[in-house]
Structure 1
Amino acid sequence: MYAPERQQAILGRARAEGRVDVTSLAADLDVTSETIRRDLRELERRGTLRRVHGGAIAVERRLGIEPAVEERYSVQADAKERIAKAAVEHVLGLLPDGGSLLLDAGTTTVRFADLLPMDRTYTVVTHALPIASLMVGRPNVTVHLVGGQVRPGTLAAVGPWAERAFAEVSADVAIAGTNGISAGRGVTTPDMAEAATKRAILRSARQCVLLADSSKFGRDEFAHVADLSEIDTIITDSEVASDMVDEIRTAGPEVVEA
């Protein structure tokens, strides 16, 4: 396989899976690790990948391009499952019986909602259509659906209506997702309206929990959502580089690795 073909294969995998690692690529493409590192440097030079510890991530979201909701469910699926389970365990320790949750849009937050137990009562406020649809039939949950302009990319209502609605409540815990997280810029996302709604969610809860798989770390998206000091806990998977975890913890949040 020539270098251009190999680099195209690497880029395709990164776009499909969210992240690639040097060791797996070297084994699958039958080349040395140094050859893969050269390919990653070249792809980063072209602006199509961003190198991170041990591998690289695709950068489409840094350019404001978001994959369809259906595509995102399959990206990092195993990691999202572990994160969602750890998040349920963590949040149940914070949430009183009859307590309230603000649920942000996102594939991991949908899985979190699906795993919430049926033997406790709580109120859920969300702007995400998939979460509202999932929760509305549960007898132990009171669901409030926030309105606004629905973004096809996330199936979430955003804009001034949504922001005002979240500002009018004070919840026990907010569960938020993100497209990017870094020590320098904090929590970021490609869309400004989405970012403003996420800010409203985070500011309306006493505890803020962020769910982010390892592919989101080291990414700086277009629109700033919040500084890391505004986040109480980040729940991620075990693939995040240890030095990056240390940087995040230094900035304030507790980091739970599932």
Structure 2
Amino acid sequence: MYAEERQQAIAELVTDRGRLAVLALAETFGVTTETVRRDLSALERIGLVRRVHGGAVAANALPHVEFRLSDRDAANTAAKDRIAKAALDELPASGSTVLIDAGSTTARLISRLPRDHPLVVVTHAVPLAARLATAPQIELHLLPGRVRFTTQAAVGPLTVKAIEALRVDTVFLGTNGLTSGHGLSTPDRDEAATKRAMLEVARRVVVLADASKFGVEAAIRFARLDEVDVVISDTGLAAEQREEIATAGPHLVLA
């Protein structure tokens, strides 16, 4: 497990339980107590937990840590692979236009696009565009804008304006967090505006999110759950979370 991935898991675990000891965290994650103390110090500096004698307690409010794309790509790989495979069933008819969001799970989807199914693909994600550029069945359109280091995707007013001129059959969206109360969310305002614009121009909205994204509330909401047609997740999703999604309206697919 990468340090950033472990630190986010620690922050979420402490928030969920209210208080945890250093020794318990070390045993849970299979690391030394000194490593846990360094992790807690890092999390305290950015306000995610509060250090106390022998452990840590939850902060008053838990913001979401936004990790780099390379770090996220190494997390929950098996679940993301299954989600991407299941997402193929949501592709529109041959010749349709799809809009694909940046992200580690959507990257797995584009790797599985069938060669015998021509599509017009629009994306703001530079790594996705680079991989799709050599696919003979894909008519590729890359959106303009400022490319963020964290997500390697174009965002900002130019990106949003270009999206607003579109009408697409299906959008495949990623998200940093998803709850029934806060909806779909991300830490960055420009990313949120871009995702929101994508949702608004699509006839059908499909969200790809592994179970680790559920119960997380990032700072900026870009969609309510009732604005989503399909949520594709994995079997690690808790029964209570499955029920919440079903109640909110989207069709839930577990891969």
The TM-score, its normalising length taken from structure 1, stands at 0.78
- For the pair 1:151 / 2:144, whether they are aligned, the reply is no
Alignment of 1:10-159 (within 5 A): 13=6, 15=8, 29=27, 48=48, 63=63, 65-88=65-88, 90-92=89-91, 95-159=92-156
Cα gap change, 1:152/1:103 in structure 2, threshold over 3 Å: closer, same or farther? Answer: same
C-alpha separation in 2, matches of 1:18 and 1:249: 28
Contact in 2 for aligned 1:167/1:204 (Cα 8 Å): yes
Aligned-partner SS, 2:139: strand
- Inter-CA distance 18–133: structure 2 relative to 1 (3 Å threshold): farther
For structure 2, the 5+ residue unaligned runs are: 18-22, 29-39, 50-57
Shift of 1:13: 3.1
1:77-120: CA deviation from partner (whole Å, max 9, x where unpaired): 111111111111x213xx11101110000000011111111111
Structure 2 distance, partners of 1:163, 1:141, is 23
1:65 and 1:29 map into 2 onto residues whose CA distance is 23
SS in 1 for 2:172: strand
What TM-score, normalized to structure 2?
0.79
State the 1:12 CA deviation.
6.9
Cα offset, 1:64, TM superposition: 5.2
Q: Deviations over 1:155-193 (max 9, x none)?
A: 000011111111111111000000000000110000010
The 8 Å contact of residues 11 and 48 in structure 1, kept in 2 or not, is answered as: no
**What is the alpha-carbon distance in structure 2 between the residues aligned to residue 197 and residue 219 of structure 1?**
20
Structure 2: how far apart are the matches of 1:211 and 1:137?
24
CA 1:241–1:98 in structure 2 vs 1: closer, same or farther (change >3 Å)?
same
Match of 1:4 in 2: none
AA aligned to 2:133 is V
2:210 matched residue in structure 1 = 213
Tell me the amino acid that sits aligned with residue 27 of structure 2: L
Question: Which stretches of structure 1, 4 residues or longer, exceed 2 Å deviation after superposition?
Answer: 10-20, 46-49, 62-65
Is 1:189 the counterpart of 2:181 in the alignment? no
Amino acid at match of 1:136: A
Deviation string, structure 1 residues 236-256 (Cα, Å, up to 9, x no partner): 000111111101111111111
Counterpart in 2 of 1:179?
176
* Aligned-residue CA RMSD (Å): 3.3
Q: 2:223 matched to which residue of 1? A: 226
Residues 223 and 19 of structure 1, relative CA distance in 2, 3 Å threshold = closer
Once the two structures are superposed, residues 175-229 of structure 1 have per-residue CA deviations (whole angstroms, 9 ceiling, x without a partner) of 0000000000110000010000000111111000000000100111001110111
Deviation at 1:65, TM superposition (A): 3.5
Q: Summarize the Cα distance change of 1:133–1:11 in structure 2 as closer, same or farther, 3 Å threshold.
A: closer
Find the residue that maps to 1:98 and give its secondary structure. Answer: coil
- The answer to whether the aligner puts 1:249 opposite 2:246 as a matched pair is yes
